[in-house]
A = this chain, B = another copy of it.
């Protein structure tokens, strides 16, 4: 009888033990699972934030480079009519010392502006003798090509064009031989 009780007792203990362990495991797993999910979500948010930081950094680096590269675009463009007028004045024939002195001054101003523009990456678009390129040149007139001159060659510039680095500020107005 005693042994039987003990036997019952042991069986009972095992049963209770299992039951409690099961319960504890359920509780544990519920909280652990919840935490694991939250951790995964948070890690995901963190990784996305880090990716955004990298993207922002690249995007701004590119934007900054463009802003610096083309910074003189607006002022440069507005200076071009002055360059045209200076060149027109330089083409005027003079026959006295006063006129020659003024023309020398004009030439100096033109030279210094050309230098300033060049330092900022603004240069005249090559035209005369070049093949016509619709990205750089605007054809306002065509003439029959002389012998030995390839078709679509620019033979005269009516208004100089300028580019800032790879960007056209103003296309050259040209006469093209065809």
Contact = CB atoms under 8 A, between A and B. Distances in A.
Q: Main secondary structure on chain A at its contact with chain B?
A: helix
Given A89-B106, A89-B109, A56 B60 contact: yes
Nearest to A78: B116
Nearest to A121: B75
Contact of A56 (B53, B67, B68, B116): B53
Contacts of A63: 60, 64
- Assembly of this chain: how many copies? 2
Nearest to A104: B89
A66 to B, nearest CB: 10
B101 A98 contact: no
A48 to B, nearest CB: 9
Interface band, chain A: 35 or more
Contacts of A1: 1
A52 B55 CA distance: 13
30 contacts: A8-B9, A9-B9, A17-B20, A28-B28, A28-B32, A35-B36, A46-B49, A60-B63, A60-B64, A67-B67, A67-B71, A71-B72, A72-B74, A74-B119, A75-B76, A75-B116, A81-B112, A82-B109, A82-B112, A82-B113, A85-B105, A88-B105, A89-B106, A89-B109, A92-B101, A92-B102, A94-B98, A96-B96, A99-B102, A102-B102
Interface of A: 1-2, 5, 8-9, 12-13, 16-17, 20-21, 24-25, 27-28, 31-32, 35-36, 38-39, 42-43, 45-46, 49-50, 52-53, 56-57, 60, 63-64, 67-68, 71-72, 74-76, 78-79, 81-82, 85-86, 88-89, 92, 94-96, 98-99, 101-103, 105-106, 108-109, 112-113, 115-117, 119-120
